[in-house]
Amino acid sequence: MVKTGSKNNKPKTPEKGPGNLYKTLFDEAGIALLIVRKDGTIDHANREFVNLSGYPAKALEGKKKWTEFLPEQGALPSDARCRLINKQGHFKDVFITIRKVPRSTTSEVSFLDIGSLADSTEQNRTNDVKYRSIVESTDDAIYMVDADCRYIFANETVLIGLGLPEDAVIGQSYSDFHTFEDAREFRNVVHRVFETGDSHRYEHKDSKEERYFLRTLSPVKDVHTRQIKHVTVISKEITELKKTEEKLKYLSLHDVLTGLYNRAYFEEEMRRIDTGRFDLVGLIICDIDGLKLVNDTLGHDRGDELIRTASKVIKESFRESDVVARVGGDEFAILLPNSPLSKVENICARIKNAIASYNTTNPKLPLSISTGFAVRSGYIKNVSELYREADNNMYREKLYGSQSARNAIIRNLINTVEARGLTTRDERERFQRTVTALAAAVGLPEGRIKDLHLLAQFHDIGNAGIHEHILFKPDRFTTDELLEVQKHTDIGHRIAQAVPELNHIADLILKHHEWWNGNGYPLGLKGEEIPLESRIIALAIAYDAMTNPRPYRGVMSRQEAIEELRKCSGTQFDPQLVEKFIETIKPVDSIKPVDSR
């Protein structure tokens, strides 16, 4: 392998050299090359570009701009992968590199045809000095060897990589400067070029430095006898291109969020196992309980966090050789070749234990996973049938466990709101008494008063989905923060819809921040479009916020709070309710809480 290095202290290359060597190197290069003017017009095109483009040299040189072959490209590419269109209208994937020709207004443009390998033939000869400048200025390693792999020519990039002057390299064998494995591989390809008369291309990896090179070896033939005299080598570093390809390959087989295998890979493994290589196969299906509720209430960020947690817990229960894949939004599947029933049952128990252990140390967002399994012994079932059986068994377990999982999440949400300490227990009870007194004053029947008592307890449950740093912010909210806080009505609505005991007050939770004049949120309702219970709660919330400490303001006196309510009567609040509320404030403390059971 030729190593690149600093271009400081370049070994001096003598002016002398084989006749028209540089023009030959340009013409015989295994990749398409152009010399282009400052405005992009093609000055010279080698044979490889003629083949690639489908145009004769006469139709290119001095007549076309090279960018005309890249119709999909905006800015001029350099060291980039692009699509080139040829004369026939066909697209080809190419890797483009642009290099300025020293002491000239022209540039060299190389096109590495990623999809195919073109034959190398001769071109008409032009100025030898110009081609020498190109060969010597490129960052690619360009050299020429004979049938015994002895160097005949090496450009400065090669000499810098070897750290030797030209006279110490020319005439020496390739194997004198490279590892045994590299030299053997190189020698085999050189011999193939001499035997077939065709160009050959191969990738070389320097495992020590983790660098990749694409080597193109092309025959140099005698003009008269057409016999192969030498082999020209162009070695281009493609490390970044390889890394990109490897990343794309990884992404094609793995789930981005969890790093586990994806569904495509899992289905391919199912087909492989179905060929009959394994007659004893276990399959486990795992499904996260309550993920939709978490997504709907706490947001998809928390849902993604739960998915990553589940994937980690599941993965740790298996061996590295087991195929663990995320096959759906909340679903995982595991293939276990040569695994009897007893082993599969033990693994499922291990998953349950791992979940219990996780929940012990992470009570804020409990994890619940339903599992189902099936085992094939012999060839009675194909793997698709095995999958359906395991999936059905998983759903059977889910029917028993999903409600308890939802309840655990809801309990956690309620505990989160309480643990944040936005109100004390005494404050919550006083708030409920205030609401109950106002409901009785406007003549609500007992059943609706009980619903209102429940609403007073759970109207702010949506705050569980709002970031703590916003809720506890000591000064006024920014516009974005205010919009974030306003989401709590919708979050609370979705939580209540998911809980049978709260479902009947979900609509009241959604609408408890609507204004009498229609300027509230989230629906912009006005007047009696707003449910009476929601209007009552809104009034009580405002009074409670003004007369109790909050992170963003101090405490108002009762009289100041009453004056503020009257100012907002008819705009924010129902004017009739405001007067009824003021009448009920004094005796509130003597009213006993209503039993909402």
Could you please state the CATH topology (level 3) that the domain comprising 420-590 is classified under.
Answer: Hypothetical protein af1432 (1.10.3210)
Tokens (6 digits) for 70: 């890249």
Q: 388: which 2 tokens?
A: 């359906």
What are the pLDDT digits (tens) for 404-425? 666 677 776 766 666 555 556 6
Q: Which residue type sits at 262? A: N
Fold classified for 254-410: Alpha-Beta Plaits (3.30.70)
> Using CA atoms, how far apart are residues 112 and 222, in angstroms rounded to an integer?
26
CB 212 within 8 A of CB 237: yes
**Domain 140-252 class, CATH top level:** alpha beta
Is pLDDT larger for residue 4 or for residue 116?
A: 116
**Residues 49, 33: contact at Cβ < 8 Å?**
yes
pTM for this predicted structure? 0.54
Residues 324, 313 contacting (CB under 8 angstroms): no
Name the token pair of 135: 């060969």
Mean pLDDT, all residues of the chain: 81
Instruction: Scan for tokens 């099936």, then name that residue.
Output: 374
Element containing residue 219 per DSSP (H, E): strand 211-221
> Is a pLDDT exceeding 50 seen at residue 120?
no
Structure tokens, 421 = 């300490």
Q: Which residues contact 415 (CB under 8 A, 6 or more apart)?
A: none
Q: b/e per residue, 430-450, with b = 16+ CB within 10 A?
A: bbbbbbbbbbeeeebeeeebb
Q: Is 455:508 a contact under the CB 8 Å cutoff?
A: yes
Helix (H) or strand (E) run with residue 324 in it: strand 323-326
Q: Are both 19-138 and 140-252 of the same fold?
A: yes
Distance of alpha carbon 41 from alpha carbon 63, whole angstroms: 7
The confidence band for 593, taking pLDDT boundaries of 50, 70 and 90, is very low
Distances (CA, A) of 228 to 27, 215, 222, 223, 548: 15, 19, 6, 10, 95
* pLDDT number for residue 125: 36
Q: Where are the domains of the chain?
A: 19-138, 140-252, 254-410, 420-590
On whether the CB atoms of residues 314 and 288 are closer than 8 A, the answer is: no
Return the SS3 of 99: strand
- Dist CA 157 CA 334 (whole Å): 51
For residue 422, the 8-state DSSP code is: S
Q: What is the pLDDT of residues 353-402, one digit of tens each?
A: 999 999 888 877 788 899 999 998 765 568 888 899 999 999 888 876 66
Q: What is the CATH topology of the domain spanning 19-138?
A: Beta-Lactamase (3.30.450)
